[in-house]
Chains A and B, each alone.
Chain A
Amino acid sequence: MTTPDRPRISLLGTSALLFEAPGAFDLPHQRRIWALAATASKWPGIREAIPGITNLMLTFEMPPRELDTLIAALNDAWDAAEGLAIGGREIRLPVTYGGEIGSQLRSVADHCGLSVDDVVAIHAAPLYTVFALGSHPGYCYLGGMDPRITMPRRQTPLQRSAGGSVSIGGSQTGVSASPGPSGWHAIGHTNWTFFDPSWPTPAALAPGDTIRFEIERVIR
């Protein structure tokens, strides 16, 4: 389970199992995760197959008596998985960087040895891909952040962070869909509706969609 080029599979109690792919945090690996999710979600006894960032959580309808069969099936399916290219839609999201909600913009700049303007320019440059949904209703984890603006998660998570916060956590970035606790650093905010339980599909975005952040304003 610890061989570097093999997946890591671990238990989340008796209600779920976590599969972590070896290799880089990049789109080709994520496409294989999407393919694995599509396969595993059809297996008997699996309630849901939930992609994370180059990993996959399987939740159980009923916990399996023994896990070896499932683990072997996951390993085989991973080896067989061809990347699933999802052609999503592109969203443009205007962002106000800094200010009260994006109060960590300066800390990220200081931590990374960059100016505030550099952080904003670097953050807004890429076309991000929605890798996975998670955390809270409608929240998207994005792939494609420039590693120069990486900042470790908080020592102690905040009890409450604002809805619409554009944040950095480790080498990842994302936008919160509603207020709540967070271990990430908010550098800006956006006004957009990411989730509505009355929609046929409650989340506005799906894995494979792309996001471009537009710099609406920078509050220094």
Chain B
Amino acid sequence: MIEILSVTGPASVQDLGRFDQYRFGVGTSGAMDDVALRAGNIVLGNDENAAGIEIPMLPFKLRFDRDMAFALTGADVEAEIAGRAIPPWWRSHARTGDILTVKAMPRGARLYLTFGGGIDVPMVLGSRSTQFRGEFGGWHGRPLQPGDILPCAASIATIGDLGVEPAEITLARPNAAADETIVRVVIAGEHDRFDATTQALFWSSSWKITPQSNRYGYRLQGPAVKPKAPIEKRSHGIVPGVIQIPPNGQPIIQMRDAQTSGGYPKIATVIRADLWRVGQARLGRKLRFEQTAYAEALAAEAEMSAYLDRLRTNVRLIAEIRTCR
């Protein structure tokens, strides 16, 4: 078990998400940076879909009520346990009574804390992710609070410390700038309802992530992009990554807690291989969109999967080497 001692902002229990309940109006939820959650589970030898804690704000502090392995992935981090520093993208081991303190996130927006065996909350409608709008899943369907004691599934015995290369480095984009996140998008249904000049403005602009951005969606600020004529669509299904343009011309990227349907015109959709980059972009940061074709989007997903496959292989090899010694 682990006990939450201090928490800032809406930290929550998330797995990869709930993907087959759209017909009841239930969205995916799940980790905003699914690559980091997968990696955090892989280094622990967990199922990749095991539930961890998504931490969007610091400080955060918890106590381990038994010996267990844990990992920190996602954002860059300054953390310590029992007087020793824990680097980012690192697996370590806690003893009963140890207190883990996460002090700062120098880069990135969300940190993932995973545990050997995973957080053992009940599966609700096929997932352990917190569904905030429906107030179910995760830990009682709500953000974590001090005093919450989370059960962890039984895990294997002590495994040694291990660091892995962050996704941000391995999957770095060649054209990445320090102050901007570039994400690839596939054009969506209403792209052609914007004239060429407006489309060009959408692609060339640097979009600022406003404070009204969260797990539901990222509201962006920049020049107004408006369709040739106002569009009122009949409501239809949407998925995380869809970029809607409400009448004010300021794009909204739908994120993991987004509604499952909408009617604002859609100009493009962030590809799955880049949605985690949006999840790691902080408020105030700039986003730029790069058009990509469906086939290239699939290739990008394959690249992401290959990174996770390599990670899995390396973790297994290291475990075997340690066993041999």
Chain A positions 112-163 with a Cβ under 8 Å from a chain B Cβ: 132-139, 141, 152-157, 159
B20, B27, B131, B238, most chain A CB atoms within 10 A: B238
How many cross-chain pairs have Cβ atoms below 8 Å apart between A and B? Answer: 184
Contact present for B232 and A134 (CB under 8 Å):
no
Contact present for A59 and B239 (CB under 8 Å):
yes
Chain B hits for A18, CB < 8 A: 189, 236-237
Contact with A along B191-235 (1 / 0, CB 8 A): 010000000000000000000100011000000000000101111
B24, B238, B247, B272, most chain A CB atoms within 10 A: B24
Distance between Cα atoms of A57 and B24 in the complex (Å)? 13
Contact present for B269 and A137 (CB under 8 Å):
no
- Which of the residues B192, B234, B246 comes within 8 Å of A25, measured between beta carbons? B234
Contact present for B301 and A63 (CB under 8 Å):
yes
Contact present for A138 and B24 (CB under 8 Å):
yes
Distance between Cα atoms of A171 and B234 in the complex (Å)? 8
Chain B hits for A172, CB < 8 A: 234-235, 263
Contact present for B189 and A10 (CB under 8 Å):
yes
Chain A positions 151-183 with a Cβ under 8 Å from a chain B Cβ: 152-157, 159, 169-172, 177-181, 183
- Which of the residues A136, A170, A179 comes within 8 Å of B259, measured between beta carbons? A136
Known: A13-B241, A135-B259, A197-B134. A157 touches B125 (CB 8 A): no
Known: A59-B239, A153-B263. A133 touches B24 (CB 8 A): yes
Distance between Cα atoms of A56 and B234 in the complex (Å)? 11
Contact present for B124 and A50 (CB under 8 Å):
no
- Which of the residues A8, A12, A134, A136 comes within 8 Å of B133, measured between beta carbons? A136
A18, A137, A154, most chain B CB atoms within 10 A: A137
Contact present for A153 and B236 (CB under 8 Å):
no
Chain A hits for B23, CB < 8 A: 48-51, 133
A15, A59, A170, most chain B CB atoms within 10 A: A15
How many residues in B have their beta carbons less than 8 Å from beta carbons of A?
Answer: 57
Is A190 close to B, CB under 8 A? no
Chain B positions 226-262 with a Cβ under 8 Å from a chain A Cβ: 230, 232-239, 241-242, 246-248, 250, 252, 259-262
Chain A hits for B236, CB < 8 A: 18, 20, 52-53, 55, 57
Contact present for A14 and B298 (CB under 8 Å):
yes
Least distance between B266 CB and chain A CB atoms (Å): 8
Chain B hits for A106, CB < 8 A: none
Contact present for A137 and B131 (CB under 8 Å):
yes
Chain B positions 288-321 with a Cβ under 8 Å from a chain A Cβ: 294, 297-298, 301
- Which of the residues A15, A59, A63, A132 comes within 8 Å of B235, measured between beta carbons? A132
Chain A positions 31-47 with a Cβ under 8 Å from a chain B Cβ: 47
Known: A63-B301, A67-B294, A203-B25. A15 touches B239 (CB 8 A): yes
Least distance between A136 CB and chain B CB atoms (Å): 5
Known: A14-B297, A156-B246. A135 touches B261 (CB 8 A): yes
Is B136 close to A, CB under 8 A? yes
Contact present for A178 and B189 (CB under 8 Å):
no
Least distance between A109 CB and chain B CB atoms (Å): 19
Chain B hits for A178, CB < 8 A: 133-135
Is A92 close to B, CB under 8 A? no
Distance between Cα atoms of A179 and B248 in the complex (Å)? 23
Least distance between B308 CB and chain A CB atoms (Å): 15
Given contact pairs A11-B294, A57-B261, A153-B232, enumerate 17 new A-B contacts (beta carbons under 8 Å).
A11-B187, A13-B297, A14-B294, A16-B237, A20-B234, A53-B236, A57-B238, A59-B22, A133-B23, A134-B260, A135-B235, A137-B25, A138-B25, A171-B232, A178-B133, A180-B216, A195-B24
The contact sample of 22 A-B pairs, CB cut-off 8 A, is: A13-B272, A18-B237, A20-B234, A51-B23, A52-B234, A53-B236, A55-B236, A56-B237, A57-B236, A59-B20, A135-B260, A137-B131, A137-B134, A138-B134, A141-B261, A157-B252, A170-B263, A178-B133, A178-B134, A181-B216, A183-B263, A202-B21
